[in-house]
Amino acid sequence: MVDSGLVWGATIVYVVIMGLLGYLGWRRTKSGSDFLLAGKNVHPFIIGLSYGSTFISTSAIVGFGGFAGAWGLGIVWLAGLNIALGLLFAFVFFGKRVRKIGQKLKSQTFPELLGSTYNSSFIRWFVAVVILLGMPLYAAAVLIGGSTFMYQVIPGLDFNGALIVFTFVTAAYVITGGLRAVMYTDAFQGVLMIVGMTAIFLITMSLLGGFDSANQQLTNLAPQVPATYKAQGMVGWTAFPTLGSDNWITLVTTIILPVGIGVLAQPQLAVRFMTAKDSKALNRSIPFGGVFLVMTVGLAYLIGAWSNVYFWDNFGQVSIVKAGSINNIIPAFINASQDQVIVVIFMLTLLAAAMSTLSSLFHVMGSAAGYDLFSVVTGRDRFKKYATTQNTAKGSLRVNQVATLIVIFVSFVLAAELPRSGGIIAIATSMFFGVCASAFLPLFVQGLFAKRPSVLAAKLSLAIGAVAWVLWTTFACKTTASVFGVVQALTGKPSIFTGALAVIDPILIALPLSTLTLIVVWVLDKNSRMDGRGVAGA
């Protein structure tokens, strides 16, 4: 049992620091524009760490780290995509274009950026609606991940109590300080995450006799793969699953591809590009983000897989058997193997990981509701005209804050109601990344790089990608359909399909459909192609 004084003391210090950074953000947030884009002059160090800590949350550390513990190091391919696509490609090719076009069109949110690019109210409100319907599930997954370990460490605190504390602290600085507070706290949390994960990795490696020894011992555990996993195609923790097996299809299509590709169209990450003063600031942000990703996701996946060696040596059980569920593998390993000081450091690391992502998700959802939908519904779609006076600017700030409070409450309720087993953290995260890729990515790419983008192609691609993803998610893929339970309630089966079709992730259906739609309509459409961004009619 961890000393309660140590836990509460560390927690209080952490909360005080967060409060001070939130206060600093509040002091510098005077208008709706400040709330949305933090003045567009954020330091490269803060951008890099904020981008990384927003991208990496408890979903990566607890959820995907737990998947590594259960399914093995095949998930390391996701870390490679995170760095190659999510950081280097995103900053070099997407980031500069997003900042340049956003500045030209005076866009302040991701829905407004896409809507203004095509001069389309439909695209703006549709993107905002997809965010508001899909992102609360992701936010709930992050809340579950942070609260699960928090209540196991803090004496006298149950899951619901941890969930309330967790949500309240994050909500306080997001609602008051907007994006400034979010990015200030992100940078602090990013540093804490790097320190915490590095310390835990080094201690774990020492416990297992070094890097090579840990990997060799993990390889030797292959005969201990649980029968259910073996039947699905798993052959060991250091080998990729059998090609074409259920395990292979799920790992590649449900975990690696949606998150690896979906990162390119994440609203909360695209907003970071729009806060930079210039392209040089974005370039200088890349090393900070790169170090962060390597030292967090890379280490989390190794620790998760290596936990099998520790549990087998000390308890005669592999991780999934000892912990009972994927979501419990990392918390159970930390509690069993680490000194109580490290346990507290890890708790703070998880708090930092969860709060950094949550604050960004809350901010994006609140902006989508309080800025984008509000603008369309009230007929002020070009919101810049509305926010030209001090009074209207203050009014827009209040609308954003109220909207943020509402979406936080929705996310909290979801976190309280969702099941906390079966890998829900990683699955829910993958679902949101998947819908973003399927619905947003094709028209996002066309808007950024095409000389004469087609408005009709963008609208149809957006709608078809979103609808196809929802239908396949709800009825076809058993991994995601189980979250909603519609097919189970109607037929008593997890999916309307059986065999390989039932494990194919929605992104493999919806993204090709939305991409093909955009290409075909762009080729055929001659009337709604734009001579320049913002010229074609909505």
Residues making up the chain, counted from first to last: 538
Residue 498 domain flag: yes
Residue 255 domain flag: yes
Residue 351 domain flag: yes
| More reliable by pLDDT, 348 or 231 | 231
Q: Given a cut of 70, is residue 167 above it in pLDDT? A: yes
- Count CB atoms within 10 A of the CB of residue 396: 24
- Long-range Cβ contacts of 245-248 (<8 Å, 24+ apart): 246/500, 246/503, 247/71
Residue 538 domain flag: no
Which pLDDT band, with edges at 50, 70 and 90, does 238 fall under?
very high
Q: Residues 326-335: pLDDT tens digits?
A: 888 998 899 8
Average pLDDT over residues 80-102: 80
- CATH classification at residue 460: 1.20.1730.10
92 Cβ neighbours under 8 A, 6+ residues apart: 286
Tally the domains of the chain: 1
Average pLDDT over residues 14-27: 69
Q: Given a cut of 50, is residue 172 above it in pLDDT? A: yes
Residue 193 domain flag: yes
Q: Given a cut of 80, is residue 287 above it in pLDDT? A: no
Q: Given a cut of 50, is residue 270 above it in pLDDT? A: yes
Q: Which domain holds residue 322?
A: 4-524
The strand pairing partners of 454, in sequence order, are: 529
Which pLDDT band, with edges at 50, 70 and 90, does 194 fall under?
confident
Q: Given a cut of 80, is residue 149 above it in pLDDT? A: no
Least confident of 58-62, 343-347, 378-382, 525-529: 378-382
Which pLDDT band, with edges at 50, 70 and 90, does 154 fall under?
confident
Residue 531 domain flag: no
| More reliable by pLDDT, 172 or 308 | 308
Buried b (16+ CB within 10 A) or exposed e, 229-256: bbebbbbbbbebbeeebbbbbbbbbbbb
Quote the mean pLDDT of the chain.
80
| More reliable by pLDDT, 136 or 535 | 136
Q: Given a cut of 80, is residue 153 above it in pLDDT? A: no
Residue 530 domain flag: no
Q: What is the pLDDT of residue 180?
A: 57
Q: What is the pLDDT of residue 392?
A: 38
Which helix (H) or strand (E) covers residue 437, if one does?
helix 424-449
Q: Given a cut of 90, is residue 226 above it in pLDDT? A: yes
Residue 31 domain flag: yes
Q: What is the pLDDT of residue 176?
A: 57
Average pLDDT over residues 193-204: 87
CB 58 within 8 A of CB 425: yes
Q: Which pTM does this prediction carry?
A: 0.80
Buried b (16+ CB within 10 A) or exposed e, 276-304: beeeebbeebbebbbebbbbbbbbbbbbb
Q: Given a cut of 60, is residue 220 above it in pLDDT? A: yes
Q: What is the pLDDT of residue 533?
A: 47
- Count CB atoms within 10 A of the CB of residue 429: 26
Least confident of 81-90, 199-208, 509-518: 81-90
Average pLDDT over residues 449-459: 91
Q: What is the pLDDT of residue 321?
A: 94
Q: Given a cut of 50, is residue 395 above it in pLDDT? A: no
Which pLDDT band, with edges at 50, 70 and 90, does 390 fall under?
very low
Q: Residues 467-479: pLDDT tens digits?
A: 999 999 999 998 8
